[in-house]
Amino acid sequence: MMLVGKIEGALRDPALSRRKGKIDLIFTSPPFPLVRKKKYGNETGKSYIEWLERLAPKLCELLTPNGSIVIEVGNSWEPGVPVMSTLGLEALLAFKKAGGLHLSQQVICHNPARLPSPAQWVT
């Protein structure tokens, strides 16, 4: 089963509620923890952490006892300085704690064709 769209709507889908405790893998890519608002309405700062944290219990109740959640939380940068924001890490740890989860592995995406970030500091 694949659901596409905002997660709040997907979690209210009756088809999903019938699968509580039966899902082995949730693979999700929420909006990245950006430090400023975008047109699509992303959360920023502490509200991002709280938003992701609120999702953990709802997603965890869908999992089988041995189920896993793979979540892509991208990088963001502090405005005005070439410093990576810790917002993504903080959000991931809050998600982990709220869901009573364990962090088993972190995967780093390496794309040699992509320019280094943040672009304004490396170009």
Q: Examine residue 117 and state whether it is found in any structural domain, yes or no.
A: yes
Q: Examine residue 53 and state whether it is found in any structural domain, yes or no.
A: yes
Please report which helix (H) or strand (E) contains residue 120, including its range: helix 119-122
Q: Examine residue 2 and state whether it is found in any structural domain, yes or no.
A: no
According to DSSP, the β-strands at 63-71 and 23-28 are: parallel
Q: Is the pTM for the entire model greater than 0.85?
A: no
pLDDT the model gives residue 93:
95
* One-letter amino acid of 107: V
pLDDT the model gives residue 24:
96
Q: Examine residue 5 and state whether it is found in any structural domain, yes or no.
A: no
In CATH, what number is assigned to the domain containing residue 103? Answer: 3.40.50.150
**Token pair 């390496």 in the structure block, residue:** 110
Nearest 5°: CA angle at 80, between 110 and 35? 65
Express each pLDDT in 54-99 by its tens digit: 999 999 999 999 999 999 887 788 888 888 889 889 999 999 999 9
Number of domains the chain is built from: 1
Q: Examine residue 57 and state whether it is found in any structural domain, yes or no.
A: yes
Range of the domain at 96: 19-122
